[in-house]
Amino acid sequence: MKIAAPMKRKLDGVLLLDKSAGLSSNTALQKAKRLYRAEKTGHTGTLDPFATGLLPLCFGEATKFSQFLLDADKKYLAIVKLGVRTSSGDPEGDVIAQRPVNVTEADVLAALPGFLGEIEQMPPMYSALKHAGRPLYEYARKGIEIERKVRRVMVHAIEVESFSGDICHLRVHSGKGFYVRALADDLGELLGCGAHLHALRRTGVGPFQIEQARTLEDLWDLDEPQRDACLLPADILAQSLPQLHLDIEAAWQICHGQAIWLPRLSVGQQFRLYAPDTRFLGVGEVDHEGKVAPKRLVVT
């Protein structure tokens, strides 16, 4: 007897997932999608399978605003193992070099300021960056090296949480596009002993912290209403934007794709738009005529 698959449902919101080690971001997303019976899902930036921590997932209309978290700052707890370089810069790669470690915590502290502020970083081959439509890691697994350009990235803070022998725990606060595995490799070369990223836990994405997140195991133990209560509203993804509350006429115009004029606006400004009944309508942007035009709207 064939058992029918659970019926999918339209579900809007943001799930702050604490991803466990061993799962790809897409596998975690698909598991959450099945658990919630959601029609449409998406994530806001990947975590490597060996990494754990905060992975915000978007359901339904929230997927339209995932870019706000793709561009957001990230926070990490990184464990760097000195003395060993790997082909991927992390524990999943092959060991390609081993050197003695004659490094003190003071040496690490002296090296870290060179990685602060706006710096140039070479993206690693084992990354999801695309070349000719394929992620770089696919080439790397076949032993193919692709020429890459250095990128300018922002690092707000790096702190040594603990140091013992060849293990260094770092707390990192970075901007978008930063690779912690590249930091570990570059730091090891600067210290003269080599290093790789032994473990990684993402503790923050934009305004969200790991303490707010739930694991898949936690969610399995809840019934459906309790799980749904774990979802945050879609507009929380755009909470960095100022709010604009519209009257009935302006809300109607926006929902029908029309721009509205408001005084004292600057071209390029973006707003969260709300109807008179406080419903979130989407995001608007001031166009070259000084009008607020709909940029991304939810289906109401």
CA–CA separation, 107 vs 101, rounded Å? 11
CA–CA separation, 113 vs 110, rounded Å? 7
CA–CA separation, 270 vs 140, rounded Å? 40
Question: Which SS3 state, helix, strand or coil, does residue 120 take?
Answer: strand
CB 50 within 8 A of CB 202: no
Q: Which of 18, 48, 185, 235 is catalytic?
A: 48
**Catalytic residue list contains 107:** no
CA–CA separation, 225 vs 11, rounded Å? 12
CB 59 within 8 A of CB 11: yes
What are the tokens at 287? 């166009």
262 burial via Cβ count (<10 Å: 0-12, 13-18, 19+): middle
| CA-wise closest residue to 86 among 124, 128, 48 | 124
44 burial via Cβ count (<10 Å: 0-12, 13-18, 19+): buried
CA–CA separation, 284 vs 218, rounded Å? 36
195-205 and 52-59 strand pairing: parallel
H or E element at residue 282: strand 280-286
Signed CA dihedral, 76, 77, 82, 85: sign only: negative
CA–CA separation, 116 vs 153, rounded Å? 10
Catalytic residue ranges: 48
